[in-house]
Amino acid sequence: MIEAPPATVARLVVYVRVLDEFAVRDVDVTSSDAIAEAAGVSAFQVRKDLSYVGPLGQRGKGYDVHKLRTRLRIAIGLDEDFPVVIVGMGRLGQALADYPNLGGLGARVVAAFDADPAKIGARVGAWTVRAPSEMADVTRAHGVRTAFLTVPGSRAASAARAIARAGIPGILNFSSSVIEAPPGTVVQSVDFLTGLGLLAYEVRLRAARGSTSGGPSRHDDAA
């Protein structure tokens, strides 16, 4: 695996998804321009990011889509399936549990937990909801390294501590709260409401400036 700045790794994940999409469309050879176009970044940024992965084919000949996809997956540790659990089987937890495309990155839901006694033992889609007290056993049995945290913001910190106690080192925090990573864990937060707020601001700002003609934002930061 490579060591690279988080922003670079985030873009490499996007390139893997772009290459998956190319493969589905039977595209065998691609270029940094094509990847850049699909990923919404510049070709310079793509080449810079790919340089972390090492030499990748001959200059001017393009990239073999399948080989590049494999190299990127290995570079960022997405070459193996990884089991995940969902903590909080409300609206969002249930939607994620049934989401079919997690497998694209190798994530595989193995269990779903909720603290509500009315939900424990109930069937939700393919899942029988379990009590948080069972999390450590499930973690050991499946080698779980990632939990999706989908509880109300007010419960997020205590649920994160329970996840840490169960021995799960990675928490993808979907809740509305910013949480401190419990010892021994890494927390990544996903927040579509912040994205929505930012978008609303940008749209209003453009309208106020009398210009809606600009292209989509590009995310070529220098990291």
Which residues contact ligand NAD (rule: CB under 6 A)? 87-93, 113-116, 119, 132, 150-153, 155, 158-159, 174-176, 190-192
CB 97 to ligand NAD: min, Å: 11
Q: Is the CB of 29 or the CB of 124 nearer to ligand NAD?
A: 124
CB 114 to ligand NAD: min, Å: 4
CB 158 to ligand NAD: min, Å: 6
CB 155 to ligand NAD: min, Å: 4
> What is the Cα–Cα distance from 128 to 123, expressed in whole angstroms?
4
Region of 54 please: left (phi>0), alpha (psi -120 to 50) or beta: left
Q: Is the CB of 104 or the CB of 197 nearer to ligand NAD?
A: 197
CB 186 to ligand NAD: min, Å: 17
Q: Is the CB of 66 or the CB of 219 nearer to ligand NAD?
A: 219
| Count of residues making up the chain | 223
Q: Is the CB of 69 or the CB of 119 nearer to ligand NAD?
A: 119
Q: Is the CB of 35 or the CB of 112 nearer to ligand NAD?
A: 112
Question: Nearest residue to ligand NAD, using CB?
Answer: 90
Question: Which residue, 17, 19, 13, is CA-closest to 32?
Answer: 19
Q: Is the CB of 68 or the CB of 151 nearer to ligand NAD?
A: 151
CB 192 to ligand NAD: min, Å: 3
